[in-house]
Chain A
């Protein structure tokens, strides 16, 4: 069971994190904070110390709830999860893990054992912005994770990955929004187009917690903010340190 918590640097420069790693463990990892800051940020935004000392990375994924905060960060980082059974182990990209509300692709005999993060290049950066009524603790109404990689000029988006929480029955990737930004500079127009694209592909529900219309308002705002901020981080830093 010890392989289920802790972290291990992979041969390709990426990072493997055990599914039983607590959220607090995740965000106190120097490597996670330095190279995968968006993931640390997402973890830090969940609950308070008491919850984070017990809640696990695997749990946040396996629950397959649309408001979970780690999946968007993981999706935007291009992470994969390891599903292990007595028949062997397979790796599935996090963005393909969620079938429907509360259900993942894991078969009944499979255990979610690891999360694999690819190596990050310099000139990349990610931010996770989530909305909640109070300043802390609340369930996420809507969250946007943006992870961007810039080209050699340090201005233009070479690659963008955007993922959302609270915007559909499952955590989802906003591919139209990504396409709207690739190859462009971080201008107000580009951000606005990306925000509109996110609203086209997202499908948030109206619940007594928040209406669909309000979730769209939030998505529009948070998309622009997280992309702009990720761009700024990427242009300043080497790797994705917070």
Chain B
């Protein structure tokens, strides 16, 4: 028990007070301590992007991020994106453009897209690819994912 450190994690707008060993990754704490299983474990070495969460709006691999580092920061998982089960535009675009097959990679891509579009509302195709390079998909071959991101950008772009 002496290994446990008390920290506050702000996840999806809610504050959680937890006591965890300092070596726990953010991924482990999200899944096991907070039972937020929408962030998945896959390669666990920062190659596939499946464990992506946004920290202060920036995408990171939670499998390589210590939970204690996240203390005091704003953590957003895919759960924080939708509003009571209503899809946000990015999620809608992924669905409508066929960007979802097995769905395992989808939340990672969606969060990365959110971060991309908040910084660059009209990304070129090359900019989309560069932003998504840390996300592996084995099902779609990426074409419909790029199309989904372009579609979302088109819908979300401020008009005028």
Contact = CB atoms under 8 A, between A and B. Distances in A.
Q: Do chains A and B touch in the complex (CB under 8 A)?
A: yes
Interface of A: 24, 47-51, 53-54, 136-137
Contacts of B133: 47-49, 136-137
10 contacts: A24-B58, A47-B134, A48-B134, A49-B115, A50-B49, A50-B112, A51-B134, A53-B59, A54-B60, A137-B133
Contacts of B112: 49-50
Interface residues of B, number: 19
Given A48-B49, A49-B59, A49-B112, A54 B65 contact: yes
A51 B46 contact: yes
Contacts of B131: 48-49
Interface string B32-67: 000000000000001101001001001111001100
B134 A49 contact: yes
Interface string B116-158: 0000000000000011111100000000000000000000000
Contact of A54 (B47, B49, B61): B61
Interface string B63-80: 011000000000000000
A51 B65 CA distance: 10
A32 B65 CA distance: 26
Contacts of B115: 49
A49 B135 CA distance: 10
A82 B82 CA distance: 46
Contacts of B46: 47, 50-51
Nearest to A52: B134
A86 B143 CA distance: 55
A54 B70 CA distance: 11
> Among the interface residues A24, A49, A136, A137, which one has the most CB atoms of the partner chain B within 10 A?
A49
